[in-house]
Amino acid sequence: MINFEVRYTVRFLMKSIRVHTIIFIFFFLFVTAESKQLSYTNPVISGSYPDPSICRVGDDYYIVNSSFEYFPGLPIHHSRDLVNWELIGYGLHRESQCNGKMNLVNVQSDGGIHAPSIRHHNGTFYIITTNVYSPGPGEETEMINFIITSDNIEGPWSEPHIIEGAPGIDPDIIFDDDGTVWYVGTHSPSEPNFNGEGEIWLQELDLKTWSLTGERYFLWRGALFYGTWAEGPHIYKRNGYYYLVIAEGGTGLNHAVMISVSDNITGPYVPNDRNPILTSRHLTNDYWVNSVGHGDLVQTKNGNWYMVALGIRSEFETFSSMGRETHLIPVTWEQEKFPWKYSKIDKQWVSLPNKQRFEKLRLVNYEWPVCSPITGRVEKQYPLPIRGRPQRKNYRFKDSFNKKKLDLEWNFRRVPQKGTYNINSENGYLRLYSSNNVIKNRKSCSLMGIRQKETNFTFLAKMRFNPNMYGIDAGVSLFQKDDSYLTFTVEYSEGEYFLKLILKEKDLSPNIVQRTPIKSYDGSVTFKIVSENNSYDIYYTLGNKKSFTLFKKIGPDKLLSKGYTGAYLGVYCTSNGKEAKEYAEFDKVEYY
């Protein structure tokens, strides 16, 4: 009897434990799912989208990013909740915008479009930015500052209005309450205190003639002595004060966001004693994100504030393949609790000499923005800006080329040559014509790609390729820059077909990693690149076979982003210097 009771008690306890365990698991999964519904994950725009600038129009938010030597340039994303962003167009989307003084035809690597600002005023969108163009060895690099406009955010956008006599990079435009339009620029001061010192300047801008007018005011050289590269300025007017936000420290590990304030747009500007207001320079290199900076502020319709800023995921010794990406950070405004500070600016200070006036202005108890208020650093997750609007990240891309226009995700390195490609939407394929150029600095070749969005991915491309001439290559590419890429191609040479993998590392010559004859090639091949377990695994399959053969493994450190842009995956066709009318056809490209 006792044994029966013991056995019964044990069975009851075990059943009870199982039931409670199941309940706990369900509760844990529910809480985890619910927490995901209440938070968003950075970066909010993944892939090579650096130097973000943001504006709000009603319930709609728009972000524009730097695009450097890529075309189309100035990608524009739209959101209604700040966490789900859709690529809707480009500011530079026609060859005529990019083949004159504003040149993206033969621009150098890491040149091109730097740090735009997007603003909206009286029904018109404005994008102001710089094209950094080096004419050639021994010639001075040109900073072509220009503005494009549109009544419709999706375009078409105007031809570039070049602002003559505007030195430096990263300009901004501000529309003041009295109707004055101001150009906010950067330059290297004529008498710098140290190498790399920058200075923010301000001048009135006439939008009828697109020209600078009146006196030029020199506002600020940055918050820190030896705080190099004061750049990326934005001016905001809040509660009667002008806040000047800049990037400082260079777009690397010392990158930071600094702020100063004035009661007059022309200055003097008083730095925040708590600068920098956002950075990762003080954190370990093992922190999940580094090089944080280049911020732009936006106020939501309900009065909350956010900042967008760039950051690099620390995946391989502070580097990643995606490079600089767009992050979203909550912001609050706070006053310092110092009762001995002035509560407001005294009008009598206007008559004081500049130095005395500045010292008075320093002691005003201003409100300052506090970025990421709880921790002071960019977090991977934050509460959603709008509850009930969960973030839905979907990086899957599939193009079967059944539309007449190329998908917005596709980019070229520089303006493509005429006749580079055409789309047969009826039969669903892209025909990519061979160029006599290979991937090379300042050259446009038959290479087009989409951004890598995450470290782990699968990329597929199905190709038909039957050239008549020897020495023609066609296939896929994973590319960072003109001096950092891999190509995996079918090569037709002396009557035979070969699979060929070329790796080009920075400062090294292109290297044929592997070249293998393919005897059973029937004109059709599917390429596959898989990134996982710290490796790029290169596969192929011939014809319509579903099973893939591993061709080679490449270490992830070979193709990290060490420039201004990140990795792309795409398709490629070259005649290797020969004049030829060959082509490859792609009927499916997929990324997930």
CB contact at 8 A, 276 and 257: yes
Q: Which residues in 135-210 belong to E strands, given as ranges? A: 142-150, 161-162, 172-175, 181-187, 199-206
Indicate the SS3 state at residue 15.
Answer: helix
CA–CA dist 563, 110 (Å, integer): 7
How many residues belong to the chain?
A: 592
Which of 128, 113, 129, 117 shows the shortest CA–CA distance to 68? 113
User: What backbone torsions phi and psi does residue 12 show, to the nearest 5 degrees?
Assistant: -65, -45
CA–CA dist 301, 589 (Å, integer): 40
CA–CA dist 465, 429 (Å, integer): 12
The CA-atom distances, in angstroms, between 344 and each of 30, 263, 275, 362, 365 are: 51, 10, 21, 11, 7
Cα 363 from chain centroid (whole Å)? 38
| Residue 263 annotated in active site | no
- Tokens 């079918």 appear where? 490
CB contact at 8 A, 525 and 463: yes
User: What backbone torsions phi and psi does residue 189 show, to the nearest 5 degrees?
Assistant: -65, 155
Indicate the SS3 state at residue 539.
Answer: strand
CA–CA dist 558, 221 (Å, integer): 38
CA–CA dist 304, 301 (Å, integer): 7
Residue from 81, 197, 231, 483 carrying the catalytic annotation: 231
- Locate 527 and state its tokens: 């390429």
| Residue 585 annotated in active site | no
CA–CA dist 119, 510 (Å, integer): 43
HSE-CB of 244 using CA atoms within 13 angstroms: 32
Tell me how many degrees the CA angle 534-538-541 measures, rounded to the nearest 5: 145
With b meaning 16 or more CB within 10 Å and e meaning fewer, what string describes 497-534?
bbbbbbbbbeeeebeebeeeeeeebeebbbbbbbbeee
Which positions are catalytic?
51, 231
